[in-house]
């Protein structure tokens, strides 16, 4: 049977669902094709269940830390079954909402099966032929597994997807990969009492690019977490029921060594589409269009900022343009914002230190350490540092990186300021309550303002005065 449509969307994840909504605003002849699961990576095996596990780890840590406040407790007893029960049932609830949405869409606009191009504009899906005027590829990504590991380790090798189906916590796990996913899961499991070691390929832990903050991150995570840096030649082997990594035995090896865009089984050889030297699609992120073809790409499949809100935005742009084809509109993109739910948390807003340096920008850095920051000390979360970067001549905020308390919230304030084009002076003129963690940001901004040698504002307009006497700012 041959089906024909205006827009075929490959993948019903976050990007695909956003593309579907945007395309349906123009035409009913849309086909959303899903190969494996409805429910999205975010809800099923990504953002949401990982945050549920982290929340359980934080609860265990709060009990552990209570005596530091003079609140005496018995040592926390973690019931792994109860932890995983909550993770799975809340996860299922989140997935349920997504399923409800998809099932509410007309059946004639949905197709189940793996889609593969057989010619430009022609797809094969579960034995059927689909002809589409334009196609959105929103096929997501999957974990990279080093060659031979699966064969050698069998079911003792797991990825993030497997963790959230556990009915109990394992005794021990080797986590390979100190990127965002490896770091978040390793910290959560460690706090829940799982014996663990985190293996990093080099000496970097997490995504911070500012060398001072990356060194601080390494130091802070190493205080808490058994870490093995520069672990290049890991040669894990199975011995009985256990995985042996660098001489240490574990129940499981959790592979979090990066993710790979799902572009390799799509029949793309039938389309003559341009690629970067690294093999990624040559895309315009403001249109989602791949080269000049009626093919649009969105979400993790693009290899560009693999984050939920970016996938949703890119999906909307791609779906809108696919339905308008051959008209293609440029759309704005938001200021970059990334958060890692580690402990301490990490946030990156606007341009990173590495991007500013590579672009040869003339910028100054304002710094604050949270070690003596008042409210952070009150709450015993006084670990970390924040760097803010501003353009030398104008004082315009360009970006920020931080590891420390409340990073998920400060990251938002900083990204919003970058997107609005705020100057350091404008930010200092905003209200700062006392005592709050945000006062640490103000300290960094004040130092930056002084380093930038900007002329002081006239007294009639300047709001930020000399408040050196404030306690613990
Ligand atoms: C453990 C983990 C934690 C995360 N935490 C966060 C977080 O805290 N915050 C954040 O912003 N982001 C987080 N992310 C990233 C975020 O989940 C992703 O960026 C986002 O889900 C990507 O959405 P997507 O639509 O591109 O892909 P997906 O949601 O993966 O959708 C892709 C869909 O395409 C389908 N598909 C693949 N090939 C085909 C084909 N040939 N034909 C038809 N269908 C196909 C797949 O089955 C899948 O359903 C996390 C990710 C992970 C793994």
Q: What DSSP line would sit under 134-187, residue for residue? A: EEEE---EEE---TTHHHHHGGGEE-HHHHTT-SS--SEEEEE--SHHHHHHHH
Residues 6+ apart with CB under 8 A from 74: none
pLDDT value at position 470?
65
Residue 175 pairs with which residues in a beta bridge?
198, 254
User: Do residues 20 and 298 make contact, with C-beta atoms less than 8 angstroms apart?
Assistant: no
Residue 114 Cβ inside 6 Å of ligand 1? The answer reads yes
Mean pLDDT of 52-58: 98
From 139, 206, 259, 295, give the residue whose CB has the most ligand 1 atoms within 8 Å, as the site to mutate. 139
Ligand 1 centroid, distance to 314 Cα (angstroms): 13
Distance 159 CA to ligand 1 centre (A): 14
140 CA to centre of ligand 1 in angstroms: 5
- Is the pLDDT confidence value at 257 over 60? yes
C-beta of residue 8 within 8 angstroms of C-beta of residue 123: yes
Mean pLDDT over 10-32 rounds to 98
CA-to-CA separations, 426 to 155, 405, 414, 420, 445, in angstroms, rounded:
55, 24, 12, 11, 10
Closest C-alpha among 232, 119, 255, 125 to residue 186: 255
Ligand 1 centroid to residue 408 C-alpha, Å: 21
To the question of pTM greater than 0.85 for the whole model, the response is yes
Q: Does residue 297's CB lie within 6 angstroms of at least one atom of ligand 1?
A: no
Of 472 and 358, the structure prediction assigns the larger pLDDT to: 358
Closest CA to 338 of 308, 298, 370, 301: 308
Distance between CA atoms of residues 14 and 315, nearest Å: 8
The rounded Å distance from CA 11 to ligand 1 centre is 9
φ, ψ of residue 338 in degrees (nearest 5):
-135, 140
142 in contact with ligand 1, CB cutoff 6 A: no
Q: In angstroms, rounded to a whole number, what is the distance separating the alpha carbons of residues 19 and 12?
A: 9
Q: In the chain, pLDDT over 90 holds for what percent of residues?
A: 94
* Antiparallel, parallel or unpaired: β 195-199 and 227-228: parallel
Is 196 touching ligand 1 by the criterion CB < 6 Å? Answer: no
Query: Using a 6 Å cutoff on CB, does residue 46 contact ligand 1?
Result: yes
Our mutation pick for probing the ligand 1 site, out of 47, 160, 185, counting the most ligand atoms within 8 A of Cβ, is 47
Please give the distance, rounded to the nearest whole angstrom, from the Cα atom of residue 324 to the centre of ligand 1: 25
Q: 451 CA distance to ligand 1 centroid (A)?
A: 42
Q: Is 404 in the pocket of ligand 1 (CB under 6 A)?
A: no
103 Cα: distance to centroid of ligand 1 (angstroms): 19
pLDDT at 295 over 60: yes
Protein residue closest via CA to atom 27 of ligand 1: 140
pLDDT at 458: 76
The distance between the two most distant Cα atoms of the chain, rounded to a whole number of Å, is: 77
The string of pLDDT tens digits covering residues 59-108 is: 999 999 999 999 999 999 999 999 999 999 999 999 999 999 999 999 99
Distance 258 CA to ligand 1 centre (A): 13
> What is the structure's pLDDT at 466?
56
Whether the pLDDT of residue 460 is over 80: the answer is: no
**Using a 6 Å cutoff on CB, does residue 15 contact ligand 1?**
yes
């Amino acid at each position: 049977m041959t089906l024909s449509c205006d827009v075929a969307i490959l993948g019903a994840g976050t990007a695909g669902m956003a593309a579907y909504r945007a395309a349906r605003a123009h035409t009913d002849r849309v086909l959303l094709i899903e190969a494996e699961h409805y429910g999205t990576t975010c809800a099923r095996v990504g953002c949401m269940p990982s945050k549920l596990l982290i929340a359980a780890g934080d609860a265990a840590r709060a009990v552990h830390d209570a005596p530091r406040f003079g609140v005496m407790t018995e040592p926390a007893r973690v019931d792994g079954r109860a932890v995983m029960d909550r993770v799975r049932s809340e996860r299922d609830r989140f997935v349920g909402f997504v399923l409800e949405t998809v099932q509410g869409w007309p059946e004639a606009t949905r197709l189940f099966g793996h889609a593969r191009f057989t010619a430009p504009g022609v797809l094969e899906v579960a034995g059927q032929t689909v002809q589409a005027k334009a196609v959105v590829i929103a096929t997501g990504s999957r974990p990279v597994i080093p060659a031979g590991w699966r064969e050698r380790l069998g079911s003792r090798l797991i990825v993030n997807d497997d963790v959230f189906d556990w009915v109990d916590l394992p005794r021990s796990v080797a986590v390979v990969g100190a990127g965002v996913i490896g770091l978040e899961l390793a910290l959560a499991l460690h706090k829940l009492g799982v014996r663990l070691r985190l293996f990093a390929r080099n000496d970097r832990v997490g995504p911070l690019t500012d060398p001072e903050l990356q060194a601080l991150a390494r130091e802070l995570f190493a205080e808490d977490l058994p870490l093995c840096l520069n672990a290049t030649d890991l040669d894990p082997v199975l011995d009985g029921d256990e995985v042996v990594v660098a001489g240490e035995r574990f129940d499981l090896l959790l592979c979090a060594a990066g993710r790979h865009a799902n572009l390799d089984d799509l029949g793309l050889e039938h389309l003559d589409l341009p690629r970067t030297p690294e093999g990624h699609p040559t895309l315009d992120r403001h249109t989602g269009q791949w080269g000049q073809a009626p093919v649009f790409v969105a979400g993790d499949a693009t290899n560009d900022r693999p984050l939920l809100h970016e996938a949703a935005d890119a999906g909307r742009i791609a779906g809108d343009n696919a339905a308008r084809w051959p008209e293609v509109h440029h759309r704005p993109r938001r200021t970059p914002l990334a958060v890692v739910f580690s402990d301490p948390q990490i946030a990156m807003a606007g341009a990173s230190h590495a991007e500013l340096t590579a672009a040869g920008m003339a910028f100054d850095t304002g710094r604050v350490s949270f070690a003596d920051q008042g409210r952070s000390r009150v709450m015993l979360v006084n670990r970390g540092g924040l760097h803010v970067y501003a353009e030398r001549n104008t004082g315009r905020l360009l970006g920020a990186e931080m590891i420390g308390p409340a990073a998920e919230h400060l990251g938002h304030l900083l990204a919003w300021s970058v997107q609005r084009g705020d100057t350091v002076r404008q930010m200092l003129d905003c209200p700062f309550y006392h005592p709050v963690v945000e006062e640490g940001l103000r300290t960094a901004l004040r130092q930056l303002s002084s380093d930038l040698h900007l002329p002081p504002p006239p007294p009639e307009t300047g709001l930020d005065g000399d408040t050196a006497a404030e306690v613990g700012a």
